[in-house]
DNA sequence: GCCATTTGTCCAACATCGTAAGGTAAATCA
DNA sequence: TGATTTACCTTACGATGTTGGACAAATGGC
């Protein structure tokens, strides 16, 4: 397979979270990082686990069980890291997203740069 | 409906194509523009029509039948334009994509700006 | 008028991805 | 021991992506 299949949006988000978290990437931390990246929209924990499973099936991430830690409720975590394939898929996906962004920004920039910039983040009935 | 549902990737692509094509947006031209935006990956015509249908159901685009044109095989086309809701959804979706791009670029920038820039800098600008 | 060709739309069916809801397990602490 | 905390996993379903081909309307040559 020369090119990895293109990622879904949520898959992209989860991979990005793992990319950021480095050594501390496991279900719960990934979930909260994804939540942070996704903005105001609520993200369920189950969604994260399901997606991690599918990413692992596709060989984009690898996982292993850590030892328990001596804290209250500190049971063993399943830690994740990006595989080479995953990094590459994320890279391609990010570049593709950027390209779309550039096109959209250019079109909008020509037509309505001013009003668009002013209204940033507001609700316009 | 305060916030439009977030767009899928292909939906985003199709809306972008309509945004670019303006007056000349119908099935076939949208398909070829989407193909152009999607890069090397093959895009089927059917995928475009199905997605246009769903976007219209959601009120993000509107369509109407044009008159036939006097060319060989020039039958009536179903033309599309962005609705206000669609423009807004595309805008939010683009901003979200940009945010992810920024995060990824920053992380990668710290670790491997040089090699990465060499590989992608020419085509990506 | 036929019929091949070109341009174009549309649908059914299946694959993949996103999401909610709830269940299970292992650790600490009183 | 049982309550609490932290964590993982499964099932099921809705939304989106994708394929493949059917159908329809125009022209142009005969």
Residues A14-23 have pLDDT tens digits of: 999 999 999 9
B interface mutation test: which of A12, A100, A117 has the most B CBs within 10 A? A100
Asked if A16's CB is within 8 angstroms of B100's CB, the reply is yes
| Alpha carbons A120 and B84: distance in angstroms, whole number | 16
Is A23 buried (19+), middle (13-18) or exposed (0-12) by CB count in 10 A? exposed
Count of beta carbons in the 10 Å neighbourhood of residue B69: 11
Secondary structure (3-state) at B64: strand
For residue B75, the distance in angstroms to the closest alpha carbon of chain A comes to: 30
User: Would B3 be classed as within a structural domain?
Assistant: no
What does the angle CA A113 – CA A100 – CA B117 come to, to the nearest 5 degrees? 105
A37/B100 CB distance under 8 A: yes
CB B75 within 7 Å, strand D: yes
In this prediction the pTM is 0.86
What's the DSSP call for residue B26? B
In a domain, B92, yes or no: yes
Positions 28-47 of B with beta carbon below 7 A from strand D are: 42-47
**Residue B1 counted as domain residue:** no
Residue of A94, A99, A77, A78 whose CA lies nearest to A11:
A94
What does the alpha-carbon distance between residue B49 and residue A122 come to, in Å, rounded to a whole number? 33
- pLDDT grade, residue A69 (50/70/90)? confident
Phi, psi of A3 (to 5 degrees): -115, 135
In a domain, B2, yes or no: no
Query: What SS3 class is residue B61?
Result: strand
Q: Could you please report the per-residue DSSP string of A14-80?
A: HHHHHHHHGGG-BHHHHHHHHHHHTTTS---HHHHHHHHHHHHHTTSEEEEEPPP-SSTT----EEE
Whether residue A75 is contained in a domain is answered as yes
Helices then strands, counting H and E runs in chain B, come out as 4, 2
The pLDDT, as a whole number, for residue B63 is 96
Domain contains B19: yes
* Tally of domains within chain B: 1
> Strand B78-82 and strand B61-65: pairing?
antiparallel
Task: Quote the pLDDT of residue A115.
Answer: 52
pLDDT in tens, B8-28: 999 999 999 999 999 999 999
What is the predicted pLDDT for the residue at B4? 61
- The interaxial angle of helices B27-37 and B9-21, nearest 10 deg, is 120
Cα-Cα-Cα-Cα dihedral of B79, B82, B84, B90, to 10°? 160
Average pLDDT over residues A55-71: 93
* Residue with tokens 């099936």, as numbered in its chain: A57
Token pair, residue A14, equals 């989860």
Q: What CATH number did the domain enclosing A65 receive?
A: 1.10.10.10
Asked if the structure places residue A4 within a domain, the reply is no
Task: Provide the domain limits for residue B85.
Answer: 9-119
Q: In this complex, which of A20, A103, A123 lies closest to B37 when CB atoms are compared?
A: A103
Q: Which of B9, B16, B104 sits opposite A19 (nearest CB)?
A: B104
B95 domain residue, yes or no: yes
pLDDT, block means (10 residues), chain B with 125 residues: 73 97 95 92 95 96 93 91 95 93 88 50 39
- The phi-psi region of residue B35 (left if phi > 0; otherwise alpha if psi is between -120 and 50; otherwise beta) is alpha
């Amino acid at each position: 397979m020369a090119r990895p299949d293109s990622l879904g949006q949520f898959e992209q988000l989860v991979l990005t979270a793992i990319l950021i978290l480095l050594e501390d990437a496991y279900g719960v931390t990934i979930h909260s990082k994804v939540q942070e990246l996704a903005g105001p929209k609520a993200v369920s924990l189950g969604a994260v686990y399901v997606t991690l499973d599918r990413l692992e099936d596709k060989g984009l991430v690898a996982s292993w069980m850590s030892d328990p830690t001596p804290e209250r409720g500190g049971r063993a975590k399943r830690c994740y890291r990006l595989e080479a394939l995953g990094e590459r898929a994320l890279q391609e996906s990010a570049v593709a997203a950027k390209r779309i962004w550039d096109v959209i920004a250019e079109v909008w920039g020509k037509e309505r740069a001013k009003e668009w910039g002013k209204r940033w983040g507001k609700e316009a009935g």
